[in-house]
Structure 1
Amino acid sequence: MELRLYQQEAKAAIFSEWDKGNLKTLLVLPTGTGKTIVFAKVAEECVRTGERVLIMAHRAELLEQAADKIKKATGLICSVEKAEQSCLGSWYRVIVGSVQSLTREKRLQQFDTDYFDTIIVDEAHHSISDSYQNVLQYFNEAKVLGVTATPDRSDMRDLGQYFNSLAYEYTLPRAIKEGYLSKIKAQTIPLKLDLTGVGMQNGDFKAADLDTALDPYLYQIAQEMLKYCSDRKTVVFLPLVKTSQKFRDILNEVGLGLRAAEVNGNSMDRSEVLQDFEQGKYNVLCNSMLLTEGWDCPSVDCVVVLRPTKVRSLYCQMVGRGTRLSPRKEDLLILDFLWHMERHELCRPAHLIATTEEIAQKMTEKIENDPCPLDIEAVEKQASDDVVAAREEALAKKLAEMKKRKRKLVDPLQFEMSIQAEDLSGYVPSFGWEMSPPSEKQIATLEKLGIFPDEIDNAGKAAKLLDRLDKRRSEGLTTPKQIRFLESRGFQHVGTWQFEHAKRLIDRIAANGWHIPSGIVPNEYRPGGDT
């Protein structure tokens, strides 16, 4: 099985991190982009060098899926460590293991601590839990790869307590743009759902409180779904099993094109219902968070999230049930609602691709104020432009203040805006070392290169800036000092210019008594337009 380009890049990046000594590294791939195939190929490479590999997950479906994909992708057969099955004595070098079984002390003690050379954790956002840590700490000399769909920042901070690095991240917007995932449209339903009385538990909304808050709206939601879901294959996520079953009955009562089924952990006929849904006997499938992991139905083209959450990884998993490509499928529609709450932010369609909360808020406003479904990529582009314009306006005011102070160093924000580096201006540290203060060496180097270091409060941002400055130097682009000088005289986005062009222009200004030569209008000037 040939890997796609981004999958090849991911595999190479993982081994590169291990070679550098970062033995606990992360791979982030959106749902539907083949994370199982990537770690299957990683496992194959490890086996080729004589290693024994453990693939660990918390659900039987994930283990079966991993073993099946590994066999198809590599030809390797997996041994199983789960319940009454054991890999001990097996000559197979890849083992799929249930964390619930492995975490039992009596079972762990049967293994030498160096029995596994490499451990791959599927759905790695669970890996901070005590059960996973119990196993990982026991085999503490093994290389570890954690694989997860797009996590939110709080997840990354938590994961950063155990993992040393992020080897590779493939983003949802890039996957859509490159044609590997379905386009996504969002439609806000003008139905205001009051969540002000919902409490919090373990960092997210209490399922029981959500159930109580949601119940009065179920009939209205069903009526709204009639308008959008009759000709789509829809998955609905709800807080509790009893609500999921009740909503199924309401949808079937409403009728007129909606044929609903429901599955939960105790469904005796779960496989049959899922198969009937895939084959079109039902066009709406209700569940209480059962289908967030380990179930694929590419023809799903509508997702209704009636289990609001603050956790972006969970929201991405729910929406991910509909992001895969399928014949005759044009796009994925997300039905969103006007969730009313007092204090807590929750994930909305904008959070799937927005790089900052500021952009997400702008996107949400635009989606809410339009009566038609909107392509979230197009909305993100417009919202990003709006945010950049607002930042540039704020920067102009800041530059005016800086002129009065006549500071010789460049403000980091001015540098980031000038070189049009959204990844720098929106940077948030994830791993422990990134959150620590900048080192004395970093501060001294930044100041030497012309960046005012006092406004950089973490080592991760300092490292990113220094890497970018080094790359710009090798590419022959302008220096921070050139940016400061020319932009203080009204020239714009000097950060996108070549070093030599900026140097020639500064030399002309110096030769003219430090005045702008006649015929040059700074705010209209473009490099290459003069000689």
Structure 2
Amino acid sequence: MERLEASLKKAFIDEKVMGSELDPSLIINQPHKKENLLNILQDDLDQCQSFIFSIAFLTTDGLDAIKVQLADLARRGIKGKLITSNYLSFNHPHVFLELLKIPNLEVRISNKEGFHSKGYLFQHDDYRSFIIGSSNLTMSALKMNYEWNIRLTSNDHGEIIRQMENHLAEEWQAAQPLNKEWIIAYQNNYQPLLRQELVKEEKINNRTEVKPNRMQRAALKELQALRTSGHNKGLVVSATGTGKTYLSAFDVKQAQPKRMLFVVHREQILEAALTSFRRVLGGPSEDYGILSGHLKQGDRKYVFATIQTISKPDYYERFSPDNFDYILIDEVHKAGAKSYQEIIDYFTPNFLLGMTATPERTDNFNIFELFDYNVAYEIRLQEALNQDLLCPFHYFGVTDYEKDGQVIDEASDLSQLVVPERVDFLLEKINYYGVSGLSAKGLVFCSRKDECKLLASAFNQRGIKSIALTGDDSIDAREQAVKALEKGEVSYLFTVDIFNEGIDIPTINQVVMLRNTKSSIIFTQQLGRGLRKHPSKDFVTVIDFIGNYSNNYMIPMALMGDNSHNRDNLRRETQESQFISGLSAINFESIAKERVFAAIDHFVPDSMEELRKAYKQLKNRLNRVPRLVDFKEQHSLDPYLIANKFNTYHDFLVKVKDNPGSLTEWENRQLQFLSVEILPGKRPHESLLLQYLLANQTISKEDLMDYYREAGVVASMAIVESVINTLTIDYYAGTMRQRYESVPFITVNNEELISLTDQTQMALSKSYYRELFVDVLKTSDYNNQDYQSDHLLSLYQKYRRRDVLRLLGWDKQMVDQNIGGYARDERLKRFVIFVTLEKGEDFTGAQIAYEDALINPVTMHWYSKAKRKVTSPEIKVLANSEDWEVLLFVKKSDNESNDFYYLGQVFPDQQSIQEETKPLGEGKTASIVSMNLKLKLPLPTRLYKYLTH
């Protein structure tokens, strides 16, 4: 009751009052901030004990968005109700069929004329919450549309809840139960909505002309610029399904070659490519020819050839080297093969274009080098989704079948993979998560050939027409199988990797993964099989059966395109669905999510193997030794992993035998300080001062304060003194003082002018050292973009203990061990508290088994250090903290990170302060003080959920 009263007072009486997690909130979809109603709706579902929705309009994609939450509720025995309607015939009959699949959802159809409600009511343990506004249960309304919704909470006895429940009870009784008979009758009278055409076309002179999309227009401009600047090669990196073939046709149109050669690695692609080119280029059919095992039409203006045919000397030597003035190679990441090298070395076109979705290879071949490092255009999965170039996908990470407590997955015996119980389990999940459209057209990726064949056979025995395809099957057999799938003659193609790439089946509406994710490249390729747009589908369903695999950490990497190797990022991306763009959605069932978390926990992101691999990939792309800032700009490895593993980036370069220069021990130690202390970018002030002094000899303290104001960062004389304290090394103590005291960066003379030390200036006169020095500063600036530089600290960002004290203005560093759980500064009147929530069985950081806990989004139950009483000095401060600023920092576990999330200002609840006695072991006890700390601002639901689950 107290929390609810506080929230209502804050919302409707005085905004300055401290509220609670029950505060009323206005919910507006803001895609650029990755904030939307879907996240709130999912969270309420996760926490509720029951629910009832009254929703006029539903779509299968909107229903998909909450299917995982409904499945987890069903596992816990929690049920819900839904009232909907057939108003305006908006709801497709298929969505009603999908509703019947959800075992813990009872659905009724309202007969009320003009039924247009949008309300979501949840019963929680000790309160009710409800969301009312403009959003129907459609993915657009939940994530993207400009919608207004309000979320309110109420006591069980509140008047508004009584009115809502009474009204819903009346509506429920008046509505009729949803059943198959009602759906059949509805379907017989249903008039389907028109689908939006996928290809932009215009009628010009009675001919349909295809127009380039936004991505293609940008790429065409860059390709033309390459040729204008004298380059004869160009590479386009484009996510599967974004229109690479049409792009190449548009570029041929603008380049206007006399003859063109288009090279592919599979014959079944040729006809589709030729058709696309004809739609763009026009002209008589005699201009187009195929050169393959079946046709030999190499004398045409536009020749479409398989690599298997054109790479034979008997064929390519029939042409002069300059016969084709434009050559295009599709899926060019395969160009490391001898067959490709033969034709690339033989022909001398005016322009060579390569296209791929996956330029990063594991075969040590450098695609970027082949094209002289001329990347004309690049668009990856996330950006392509943002630009609406791909079909949205709904990814469901689900648990694989368990028998006698053991997970049956890729590592199990073949006999276990195909037992009837597992087949039934797979079908139950596949049916539950469904497809966009009336029938499935799916690809199932298996781990082994025998499993592939036996599962296809098992599906057929259950009346689900399926075909198994492996590398043993001929091209003709594969083509016939694909045609059967497209015609609806079969529902599933089971395969082992052969359809990872080079196959175009736009009608695929379901991708099922029954294999361990061993490579993010292969994962993305398999996901991409369903991402081509087609009028028959609004989205593609991806069902990933997750076993106990050590590589499960690669799943969020691949889905989010996150190559940072930051374990905390991977956990949050698995926990939070808002990271994916547009109308796509990512959801993990709770058990599957725990398996991904377990894999992330055991992942070693800074192993030398991982660091070498990331470094080599980036060097291949850039054709030079990468800088730290390059890792950030290219969305590669988090450079702090290198800095944390090695003293400096120079030391890493020495390790990989790629350092272009040398450093003295003093220079390397100064770089070590920058790499450890300044590189993370928690505060921009040190970097700004050093960059200023690189260009100017001196600056006064007053001018520095003005300089900070002009830069838009927090400015005060206290900040200036803190920055000086940091860069003179005067702030540091203990072992860090010993390590860095000989390498100060700045000095302050008697006239209060700040300048670089003589030794720093001498070191910076060496080009190699200066390059490394500036690189750290640039990377720090890049990292600082994630922080609010006009504040001392940024809410919900992460900080080390020593960062917190330095940024808040402590005169001297406190060694982490001395800080322990908290520290205070009498001069600043600041009290900072550090809490590790999950201490683990091996936690040795304290004598007492602490039971600190986030009780709810606004309350931390907290314990003092051992051997403290209510009369202890720090407890007296907290008990009378009106003049103090008490700040809370929390991390989930030591395994997660050394850094703590800044949760903001807290206020000790005076009534909750109490002295307790705790066992120390060996029969000894110690006094300790506990209390509740009230957060000034309620934690964002997702962060609270992440920290407490």
Q: TM-score, normalised by structure 2?
A: 0.38
Which residue in 1 is equivalent to 2:623? Answer: 434
Q: Are 1:218 and 2:418 matched, yes or no? A: yes
In 1, Cα distance between equivalents of 2:361 and 2:544: 22
Counterparts in 2 of 1:171-186, with a 5 A limit?
Answer: 171-186=380-395
Which residue in 2 is equivalent to 1:260? Answer: 466
In 2, Cα distance between equivalents of 1:213 and 1:376: 35
For 1:70, give the aligned amino acid: F
Residues 119 and 502 of structure 1, relative CA distance in 2, 3 Å threshold: farther
Which residue in 2 is equivalent to 1:71? Answer: 278
Which residue in 2 is equivalent to 1:36? Answer: 245
In 1, Cα distance between equivalents of 2:542 and 2:365: 28
In 1, Cα distance between equivalents of 2:566 and 2:271: 39
Q: Give the superposition deviation at 1:11.
A: 1.6
Q: Please point out which of 519, 529, 546 is paired with 1:338.
A: 546
Q: Which has the higher contact order (CA 8 A, sep 6+)?
A: 1
Q: Give the superposition deviation at 1:132.
A: 0.4
Residues 110 and 277 of structure 1, relative CA distance in 2, 3 Å threshold: closer
In 1, Cα distance between equivalents of 2:530 and 2:567: 21
Structure 1 stretches lacking a partner, 5+ long: 194-209, 382-424, 439-451, 460-477, 487-498, 527-531
**Contact conserved, 1:151 with 1:313, CA < 8 A, in 2?**
no
Which residue in 2 is equivalent to 1:4? Answer: 213
Counterparts in 2 of 1:70-149, with a 5 A limit?
Answer: 70-76=277-283, 77-83=287-293, 85-88=295-298, 90=299, 92-140=300-348, 142-149=350-357
Which residue in 2 is equivalent to 1:190? Answer: 399
In 1, Cα distance between equivalents of 2:531 and 2:390: 6
Q: Give the superposition deviation at 1:248.
A: 0.7
Residues 321 and 43 of structure 1, relative CA distance in 2, 3 Å threshold: same
Q: Please point out which of 237, 252, 261 is paired with 1:54.
A: 261
In 1, Cα distance between equivalents of 2:544 and 2:620: 32
Q: Give the superposition deviation at 1:188.
A: 2.5
In 2, Cα distance between equivalents of 1:506 and 1:313: 41
Structure 2 stretches lacking a partner, 5+ long: 1-209, 403-409, 588-613, 628-642, 659-683, 693-705, 724-788, 796-949
In 1, Cα distance between equivalents of 2:568 and 2:714: 45
For 1:318, give the aligned amino acid: Q
**Contact conserved, 2:394 with 2:586, CA < 8 A, in 1?**
no
Q: Secondary structure at the match of 1:146?
A: strand
In 1, Cα distance between equivalents of 2:522 and 2:720: 61
Q: Secondary structure at the match of 2:391?
A: coil
Q: Secondary structure at the match of 2:240?
A: coil
In 2, Cα distance between equivalents of 1:235 and 1:5: 30
In 2, Cα distance between equivalents of 1:429 and 1:161: 12
Q: Give the superposition deviation at 1:106.
A: 2.5
In 2, Cα distance between equivalents of 1:107 and 1:273: 30
Which residue in 2 is equivalent to 1:316? Answer: 524
Q: Give the superposition deviation at 1:82.
A: 2.4
Q: Are 1:523 and 2:792 matched, yes or no? A: yes
Q: Which has the larger radius of gyration?
A: 2
Residues 66 and 513 of structure 1, relative CA distance in 2, 3 Å threshold: closer
**Contact conserved, 1:25 with 1:163, CA < 8 A, in 2?**
yes
For 1:436, give the aligned amino acid: V
Residues 267 and 80 of structure 1, relative CA distance in 2, 3 Å threshold: closer
**Contact conserved, 1:67 with 1:78, CA < 8 A, in 2?**
yes
Counterparts in 2 of 1:11-26, with a 5 A limit?
Answer: 11-26=220-235
In 2, Cα distance between equivalents of 1:360 and 1:43: 44
Superimposed CA distance per residue, residues 107-127 of structure 1 (whole angstroms, 9 cap, x where no aligned partner): 222222222222110111111
**Contact conserved, 2:713 with 2:791, CA < 8 A, in 1?**
no
**Contact conserved, 1:55 with 1:97, CA < 8 A, in 2?**
yes
**Contact conserved, 2:447 with 2:514, CA < 8 A, in 1?**
yes
Residues 504 and 312 of structure 1, relative CA distance in 2, 3 Å threshold: closer
Q: Give the superposition deviation at 1:286.
A: 1.6
**Contact conserved, 1:187 with 1:336, CA < 8 A, in 2?**
yes
**Contact conserved, 1:482 with 1:503, CA < 8 A, in 2?**
no
Q: Please point out which of 428, 432, 436 is paired with 1:227.
A: 428
Which residue in 1 is equivalent to 2:511? Answer: 303
Q: Give the superposition deviation at 1:225.
A: 2.4
Q: Give the superposition deviation at 1:159.
A: 1.3
For 2:792, give the aligned amino acid: N
Which residue in 2 is equivalent to 1:445? Answer: none
For 1:228, give the aligned amino acid: K
In 2, Cα distance between equivalents of 1:357 and 1:505: 28
Q: Secondary structure at the match of 2:319?
A: coil
For 1:297, give the aligned amino acid: I
In 1, Cα distance between equivalents of 2:413 and 2:233: 42
Q: Give the superposition deviation at 1:70.
A: 0.4
Identical-pair percentage: 20
**Contact conserved, 2:573 with 2:579, CA < 8 A, in 1?**
no
Superimposed CA distance per residue, residues 161-187 of structure 1 (whole angstroms, 9 cap, x where no aligned partner): 422222111121122222222333332
For 1:29, give the aligned amino acid: S
In 2, Cα distance between equivalents of 1:305 and 1:512: 54
Which residue in 2 is equivalent to 1:278? Answer: 486
Residues 79 and 259 of structure 1, relative CA distance in 2, 3 Å threshold: closer
**Contact conserved, 2:223 with 2:234, CA < 8 A, in 1?**
yes
Q: Please point out which of 361, 366, 378 is paired with 1:169.
A: 378
Q: Would you say how many aligned residue pairs link Structure 1 and Structure 2?
A: 414
In 2, Cα distance between equivalents of 1:513 and 1:272: 73
Q: TM-score, normalised by structure 1?
A: 0.64
Q: Give the superposition deviation at 1:25.
A: 2.3
Which residue in 2 is equivalent to 1:503? Answer: 710
Q: Give the superposition deviation at 1:436.
A: 2.8
Residues 511 and 329 of structure 1, relative CA distance in 2, 3 Å threshold: closer
Residues 79 and 297 of structure 1, relative CA distance in 2, 3 Å threshold: closer
In 1, Cα distance between equivalents of 2:263 and 2:350: 13
**Contact conserved, 1:359 with 1:380, CA < 8 A, in 2?**
no
Superimposed CA distance per residue, residues 470-504 of structure 1 (whole angstroms, 9 cap, x where no aligned partner): xxxxxxxx998536699xxxxxxxxxxxx977438
Residues 87 and 359 of structure 1, relative CA distance in 2, 3 Å threshold: farther
Q: Which has the higher mean CA deviation after the structures are superposed, 304-313 or 124-133?
A: 304-313
Residues 111 and 364 of structure 1, relative CA distance in 2, 3 Å threshold: farther
In 2, Cα distance between equivalents of 1:298 and 1:285: 14
Which residue in 2 is equivalent to 1:401? Answer: none
In 1, Cα distance between equivalents of 2:571 and 2:461: 32
Q: Which has the higher mean CA deviation after the structures are superposed, 153-162 or 320-329?
A: 153-162
Task: Give the RMSD, CA atoms, in angstroms.
Answer: 4.6
Residues 225 and 339 of structure 1, relative CA distance in 2, 3 Å threshold: closer
Which residue in 2 is equivalent to 1:249? Answer: 457
Q: Secondary structure at the match of 1:250?
A: helix
Q: Give the superposition deviation at 1:215.
A: 5.6
Residues 135 and 359 of structure 1, relative CA distance in 2, 3 Å threshold: same
Superimposed CA distance per residue, residues 202-245 of structure 1 (whole angstroms, 9 cap, x where no aligned partner): xxxxxxxx798666323455333222322432210235554322
In 2, Cα distance between equivalents of 1:503 and 1:380: 42
In 1, Cα distance between equivalents of 2:516 and 2:585: 22
In 1, Cα distance between equivalents of 2:555 and 2:794: 41
In 2, Cα distance between equivalents of 1:270 and 1:485: 61
Q: Secondary structure at the match of 1:351?
A: helix
Residues 228 and 357 of structure 1, relative CA distance in 2, 3 Å threshold: farther
